[in-house]
Structure 1
């Protein structure tokens, strides 16, 4: 049994079938990539997993227990964090404050915080946030306002904001979208280090260089359905993948 099991999940938007009997299993401690063409249902699936959307039918088990009935906050408290396609940071706050906010929420169980002065005075949280910024290579920018960062650094900051919550399962939606190759490679290296800590990752990604650099297993979505779930070396030459995802071209 995997850390995450998706069984027969369906989601419709009016007459559009976004997810059609989706099944997949994510093994603990692995990087599991989800690929597929635009409109395949990848982000919809992740939104169902974090409670932003409710599937019409189907079940999702996390550590063997039902996930879908939980609120987004309860899902986060259970150890699931998500990195969004567009980095979601507090642009007017410093990097240190950005990482302290989720650290505080994780400890106290709510983002409804006290005044900033009391939060920023929390020595233990401050030390934890600084250590996390060091882990992602941003400690020297701890007091820089987050809105001034490059896209690559914003992504690293968002990863630090997730990791400070000590997740067991990290969901990443296009983590290298819009990055230059150097930033992409730095992000790959960072994600490899995260994987070495035992955190399970589910990664949606269009960049095949990223996918094949990280994933131990790949699920391919097409028209809302998982058409193939296999090892990376078997995905490259799979004719179903080549037809559905790349129109017959090789990965």
Structure 2
């Protein structure tokens, strides 16, 4: 479904990604892990079209999307969440999800809002379905800025689901959540996976990553240093050194 090939990207001479390659199969959940600053969110920004790489390519469902407009990438079936929430705080919960839901309807987004009742009805039905899925349907008329942090995480997820993704990039969906909220978020991601949606998961909570991912890729300083099953990766000496440092010889 997704093929990332030899991606390189530098910022003012600092190499953020250095020859990163990975694949994600249809319906697969791939965990992407690594220490802070290893390039995980930068990689998501390249895949989703926010950054154009210096070299390399990204192909989604057989089509090259390297450096494509992010809106076109979403329309092709690839959606994402953000580590730093991008909610419209002054809009209601429903209106936040209605924005991406309306974009999936036929015709012009603006004309649907202005005149086509059928387009708006279809978009609202999709938005309410996404809110019900994440458990926020009873807060549809609440201003987004007033939501608790865990509820904002769910709203961010609902907005991505309203885009009808075939592949979903999740950037630290469990960050800042309580243990019970992390458990609930893990359950939501499992239900998304059970729908057949492929998932790329960046997450620092190793318990969440290990339970959800069939395969892991490990980044360190913009380089892929390991890949394989969770068991294989956790036993890799390079991964241990990247997270905990190289042991000092006696």
TM-score (norm 2): 0.92
Is this contact kept in 2: 1:120–1:126, CA < 8 A?
Answer: no
Aligned equivalent of 2:121: 123
Give distance in 2, aligned partners of 1:107 and 1:178: 34
Is structure 2 residue 140 aligned with structure 1 residue 142? yes
Is this contact kept in 1: 2:33–2:217, CA < 8 A?
Answer: yes
Match of 2:189 among 176, 187, 191: 191
Change (3 A) 1:222 1:177: same
Pairs within 5 Å for 1:1-251: 3-108=1-106, 122-247=120-245
- Paired residue secondary structure (2:105): helix
Change (3 A) 1:124 1:114: closer
Is this contact kept in 2: 1:239–1:248, CA < 8 A?
Answer: no
Change (3 A) 1:117 1:196: same
Give distance in 2, aligned partners of 1:235 and 1:8: 21
Give distance in 2, aligned partners of 1:215 and 1:90: 31
Is this contact kept in 1: 2:172–2:204, CA < 8 A?
Answer: yes
Q: Which moved more, 1:101-110 or 1:55-64?
A: 101-110
Give distance in 2, aligned partners of 1:90 and 1:228: 38
Give distance in 2, aligned partners of 1:110 and 1:31: 33
Give distance in 1, aligned partners of 2:106 and 2:15: 39
1:131-167: CA deviations, max 9, x gaps? Answer: 2211111111111111111111111111111111110
Residue 126 of structure 1 and its aligned partner are, at CA, apart by 1.9
- Paired residue secondary structure (1:228): strand
Residue 90 of structure 1 and its aligned partner are, at CA, apart by 1.3
Name the Cα RMSD after superposition. Answer: 2.0
- Paired residue secondary structure (1:19): strand
* Unaligned segments of structure 1, at least 5 residues: none
* Unaligned segments of structure 2, at least 5 residues: none
Change (3 A) 1:211 1:113: farther
Give distance in 1, aligned partners of 2:244 and 2:71: 37
Q: How many residues align?
A: 247
Is this contact kept in 2: 1:8–1:59, CA < 8 A?
Answer: yes
Give distance in 1, aligned partners of 2:174 and 2:75: 26
